Structure formats: structure tokens, C-alpha cells
Amino acid sequence: MADERTAETIAQAHKACLNGANVINSVIATHAKGSDATDADFGHDLTHDGKKERVARSVSYLKYQKALTDWTDEDFTVIDKAITDADAFTE
């Protein structure tokens, strides 16, 4: 059995999940802009397949973290939505 995570480690992991959700949301939003995406849009230089790969990597991390059983009262609303949106985007 793995060592239990400290409260600090859990907080850091939750922040990393929120950052991952932001990556997913940003890449999907950039994709939705199509040819209107600019250099300022995250992932603007990726192909559609590249965007799907980036989103798939990020959602994989979110799902791994969500499966851990030592979460306490962290809010997963944004993370859960990012997982749902990522799954739809990568189908």
C-alpha cells in the first residue's frame, strides 16, 4: 500500500488538477475558434490530432487523481466538467 498523502500534498494535487482542467478548457476553446484562433490562444499551433492528444494526456491525469480515495472536502465541479468535456472532445 502506498504512503498516505499529506494535506499539503493533497492540496497541491488538487491545484494540479485545476491546472489540468484549465489546459483542457483552453485547448477545446482554441479549437472551437477554428481559423480565428490567434497566437494568444493556447494550443493554436497544434493540429486537431495534436489537440486531442494534449487533452487526452490531461484528462488521463485528472482521472488518475480522481480515483484516489484520500480526498477530503475538495471541490471537483470544474474538474468533473473538464473530464466530461475532454471525453466528448477526444471521441
pLDDT tens-digit map of 13-39: 999 999 999 999 999 999 999 999 999
pLDDT for 3 equals: 76
The segments of the chain whose pLDDT lies below 70 read: 1-2
Helices 48-66 + 77-89 axis angle, to 10: 140
Backbone angles phi, psi at 42, to 5 degrees: -60, 125
pLDDT recorded at residue 2: 59
21: helix, coil or strand?
A: helix
pTM for the model stands at 0.91
Give 22: exposed, middle or buried? Use CB within 10 Å, 0-12, 13-18, 19+.
middle
- Work out the number of other CB atoms within 10 angstroms of the CB of residue 24: 26
C-alpha cell at 20: 489540468
